[in-house]
Structures are given as structure tokens and as C-alpha cells.
């Protein structure tokens, strides 16, 4: 029992230095993938965010909902199409995307409130966009982020929850890649950290060993050698883009691991892969 108590005390002391380090700092969390497909994991993520807020960190949640969108499209008999990993968004697909993301946003807000903190949907007016590629349909690039709204929310103790769609100057809706949206938010806020919840525990080398730290220069080399491939490529580049534009660090972590956010922020070993400039 004494050994167990000593171990717990050591963990608390280890966490304390990180609490001091991150107090008052902004962390942008991209929430999506399998982490939102299971109620227990959802609750774990929201409880982690609640703990971060109670310990003095300022949190913005940017969420996707790709798996739920895929399911809703299939239910309606609408075929999913992608180009270079981006969803082709025609009129019918856009309606499904927006409706599904609004439902996910409400789930997030309700879940965070149940975890004991104040949260609110800050999607409306958050992103000004422009059309990205005519082949993609209603898909947009972000030209402006309403950072003042986010800063005011956090100043009042509110966790802003942002869906990944926006409007152009004419009011036309655009679907936005969730990793890109989270990256842009982190950049304009000069966040201390961008954390992207994925379905795997970071980047692994050719021998299958997790790579704890990557710098921007390593990324091209690992992509060329096939170490980083498939769906990890845009996520890694999103992290790289963030740190190149003023974000201190970016992390790719497995959102299906219980207490993943707390382990990543408050322990020496951390989890996942950290990307720095």
C-alpha cells in the first residue's frame, strides 16, 4: 500500500510542474475519429478537458465527424467521393455534412457541460472561406478566423466548440478539413499546443517503434521513405504547418486511449508523437 501511495504522490508531483508550465496557456484540441464513436471514450475525453480547464488551461475544441458523416451518407444512399483525401462535397453531401456536424457539436457541448464546465457552440461566423478546388465542390480554404470571439469566450471561462465548416463573403457554405481548421485556429491564437486525436498512437519508424519527437525537417524524409504514409500524411503536415506559424508544439495522439489528453500534457513520457519546428 505504501509503495502504491508513493507512486501516486510521485505522479502528482510530476503533474504539478506541467500544471505550472501550462497554466493560462491555450491548447487547441482537434477531436474526431474513433474517439467520438464510443460513449465511454467520449466521456473520458470530456472529463480530461474538464480537468485541463479546472487546472487553469484555456481550451478550444475543433471537431470533425467524418465517420458519422460517412454513416449518414450511406444511410441516404449517397456515395462518398474523395480527391487527395478530401471529401468531394456536392449539394446533397453538404447538407449531410452540416446537419451531422451540428449534431456532433451539440454532443460535445452537452458532454462538456455534464463534465462540469461551461461550453458553447462557436461555429457561426468563425471561419471566412474561399472555394478551394472546383473539383471538390463546396470545400473551402480558410481565409480568416474570428480569433476575438474565441479569446473572449475563454476569458469568460467558456470552452468554445467549433465545427469544421464556414462561409465565404457571399454567405455560401463550405466544408473544411477538420485537421486544417484546428491548425488555423491554433495558429491565430499562437497556441502553446495543438493536439490532434487520431486512431493510432503517433508515427512509427520502419521497425515499428513509436517516434516520440519529430522536427519539420524529418517529415519529408519519413514520407519519402514510406515511414509516414496514407492518412497520417495530412495530419503530420497539419502539425508541421502549425509549428511553422507560431504554435510551440503539436501532438498526434491516440484518442481511443483512456485519459490520453492528461497523459500527453501532464507526464514526462507523454504519449503519441510530438512535432516541433
Tell whether 16 is covered by a domain. no
Domain that includes residue 140, residue range: 24-276
Tell whether 131 is covered by a domain. yes
How many domains, in total, are found in the chain?
1
Rounded distance between C-alpha atoms, residue 70 and residue 104, angstroms: 13
Across 36-45, 59-68, 125-134, 160-169, least confident range:
36-45
**pLDDT (tens digit per residue) in 29-58:** 999 877 777 888 899 999 999 999 999 999
**CATH code of residue 158:** 3.40.1160.10
What confidence score (pLDDT) does residue 6 get?
56
Is residue 1 over pLDDT 60? no
Tell whether 5 is covered by a domain. no
Tell whether 150 is covered by a domain. yes
Q: What is the pTM of this model?
A: 0.91
**pLDDT (tens digit per residue) in 50-96:** 999 999 999 999 999 988 999 999 999 999 988 877 889 999 999 99
Tell whether 93 is covered by a domain. yes
Tell whether 107 is covered by a domain. yes
For the chain, percent of residues with pLDDT exceeding 90: 57
**pLDDT (tens digit per residue) in 193-234:** 999 998 777 778 777 788 888 888 888 888 888 888 777 787
Tell whether 103 is covered by a domain. yes
What confidence score (pLDDT) does residue 2 get?
46
Question: Quick one: cell of 103?
Answer: 449534431
Amino acid at each position: 500500500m505504501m509503495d502504491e501511495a508513493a507512486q501516486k504522490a510521485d505522479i502528482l508531483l510530476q503533474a504539478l510542474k506541467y500544471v505550472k508550465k501550462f497554466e493560462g496557456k491555450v491548447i487547441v484540441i482537434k477531436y474526431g475519429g474513433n474517439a467520438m464513436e464510443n460513449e465511454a471514450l467520449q466521456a473520458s475525453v470530456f472529463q480530461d478537458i474538464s480537468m485541463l480547464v479546472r487546472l487553469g488551461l484555456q481550451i478550444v475544441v475543433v471537431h470533425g465527424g467524418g465517420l458519422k458523416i460517412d454513416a449518414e451518407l450511406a444511410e441516404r444512399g449517397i456515395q462518398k467521393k474523395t480527391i487527395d483525401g478530401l471529401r468531394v462535397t456536392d449539394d446533397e453531401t453538404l447538407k449531410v455534412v452540416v446537419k451531422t456536424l451540428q449534431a456532433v457539436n451539440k454532443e460535445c457541448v452537452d458532454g462538456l457541460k455534464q463534465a462540469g464546465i461551461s461550453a458553447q457552440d462557436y461555429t457561426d461566423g468563425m471561419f471566412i472561406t474561399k472555394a478551394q478546388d472546383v473539383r471538390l465542390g463546396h470545400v473551402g480554404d480558410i481565409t480568416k478566423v474570428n480569433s476575438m470571439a474565441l479569446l473572449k469566450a475563454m476569458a469568460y471561462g467558456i470552452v468554445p466548440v467549433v465545427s469544421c465548416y464556414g462561409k465565404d463573403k457571399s454567405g455560401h457554405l463550405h466544408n473544411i478539413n477538420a485537421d486544417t481548421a484546428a491548425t488555423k485556429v491554433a495558429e491565430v491564437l499562437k497556441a502553446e499546443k495543438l493536439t490532434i486525436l487520431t486512431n493510432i498512437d503517433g508515427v512509427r519508424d520502419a521497425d515499428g517503434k513509436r517516434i516520440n519527437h519529430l522536427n519539420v525537417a524529418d517529415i519529408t524524409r519519413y514520407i519519402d521513405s514510406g515511414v509516414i504514409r496514407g492518412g497520417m500524411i495530412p495530419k503530420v503536415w497539419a502539425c508541421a504547418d502549425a509549428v511553422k506559424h507560431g504554435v510551440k508544439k503539436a501532438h498526434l495522439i491516440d484518442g481511443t486511449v483512456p485519459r490520453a489528453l492528461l497523459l500527453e500534457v501532464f507526464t514526462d513520457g507523454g504519449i503519441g508523437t510530438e512535432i516541433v519546428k
